[in-house]
Amino acid sequence: MSLRERSLRFLRNRLGPEGLPLRLAFWDGTSFDLGTAPRVTLTLTTRSILRSLLGGDIDGLAAAYVDGRLRVDGRLQDILAVGIALAERVGRAARLASALKPLFRRRFHHTRHGDAQAIRHHYDVSNDFYALWLDRHMTYSCAYFTTGAEDIDTAQEQKFAHICRKLRLRPGEQLLDIGCGWGGLLRWAAKHHGISGVGVTLSERQYDYARRRIEEAGLGRQLDIRLQDYRDIAGEACFDKIVSVGMYEHVGRANLPLYFATIQRLLKPGGVVLNHGITTADPEEGESGPPGAGFIDRYVFPGGELPHISAVLRHMTRQGLEAYDVESLRPHYAETLIRWVARLEARRDEAIALAGAERYRIWRIYMAGCAHAFDQGWLSIHQVLAVKPDAAGVAPRPWTRRHQYVAEDAAATPQPLGWGDL
């Protein structure tokens, strides 16, 4: 019996009598269906890939896909469905849920140099590449939907507005944006709320782009973008409000105390901070990396780590910040990623010309897989709103959440009732 025949027998035994809607094409041009009406075709161009397939080696298959030795044809939703079923039934592969749920589990040493290198690996691909599929503000974080039917431009502007209302921004306030990306949120806050602000990023291309867009918008006197690590921001009680979107994925769990201590140091008493970031659904934050996590670490986010929301709240409050509002936006990120993938696929040829075929394949399957992970609840994302109490322990804030949804209430100054008023 040939290697091909033995492999097919093994796969059919593992897949059961119904099989999967999958066609397996071999390096010699032959192909076999592993179920009726196949919707996905895996083309193995070398014998070595077969070993990864039969062994349930997700990382090995991912590497073969990226470098083109494994071709995958079909609609993304079918590819994901078939891939998950294949991973669950074949070899020693763990559930894909286990591979994606914690996303990043290994411990990393988050030095200034190492973090800068990791950020540049991910973000300094090409501004033009990201512009193909991001919104008009170049916002690379979860959007905010009110109906689910909005386009990505509208949904990202709704996210900006939602964050600014939560922060209750007022003209003349000083806003710090830690991990400001391409500067879209800062420009929105300056234009619509009259704030002055500072944004920091470790990406040189984001820095150059953000500064150019600020000058073009005539906001140069209001906004300052710095190529700077958050740990190196000098001063104490400098900012009325602080925002950080999509940042603590890069901070590292061991550095969360320092991260929130830095925010506490820079925030004025009575000031408000909003932290928006991806969280793992695993409250144990396990240490060992399961199959699949290696793909993300190698190709997408080197050194990334995700905390559980309980860890975020614990470290935040230990640093003297009083958390008073937590909102999960998990369904919003699934919708955001679906739109990004569709936009990337629509500009496939341009994306490959700008960033190469490997980068296109990486981002396409990575974002589609993450969309599924958020949809299934393996990953989540939370916005946490907190205040720094003043010397008397007073932490002024509105009585209700109405200001988060009604623009005219967002600018109102909260007037807490103190004991002296009774």
Q: Around Cβ 421, how many Cβ atoms within 10 Å?
A: 7
Cβ(225)–Cβ(210) under 8 Å?
Answer: yes
Q: Is 238 a catalytic residue?
A: no
Unique residue bearing structure tokens 């935040």: 316
* From 142, 164, 180, 370, the catalytic residue: 370
- 119 — phi, psi (to 5°)? -65, -45
Cβ(37)–Cβ(19) under 8 Å?
Answer: no
Side-chain half-sphere CA neighbours of 88 within 13 A: 13
Cα 188 → chain centroid = 21
Please enumerate in sequence order all residues whose Cβ is within 8 A of that of 35, keeping only pairs 6 or more positions apart, or say none.
Answer: 15, 18, 19, 20, 21, 22
Distance CA 247, CA 176 (A): 13
The residue type at 279: T
Here the tokens at position 317 are 């409050």
| Cβ neighbourhood burial of 281 (10 Å; 0-12, 13-18, 19+) | buried
Angle between helices 184-193 and 152-167 (to 10 degrees): 60
Q: In terms of DSSP H, where are the helices of 194-252?
A: 204-216, 248-251
Where residue 168 falls (left for φ over 0; alpha for ψ -120 to 50; beta otherwise) is left
Inter-CA distances, 43 with 62, 336, 368, 395, Å: 13, 30, 20, 60
String of DSSP letters for 175-186: EEEET-TTSHHH
The DSSP secondary-structure symbol of 218 reads T
Distance CA 196, CA 149 (A): 33
Cβ(139)–Cβ(182) under 8 Å?
Answer: yes
Q: Which residues are catalytic?
A: 370
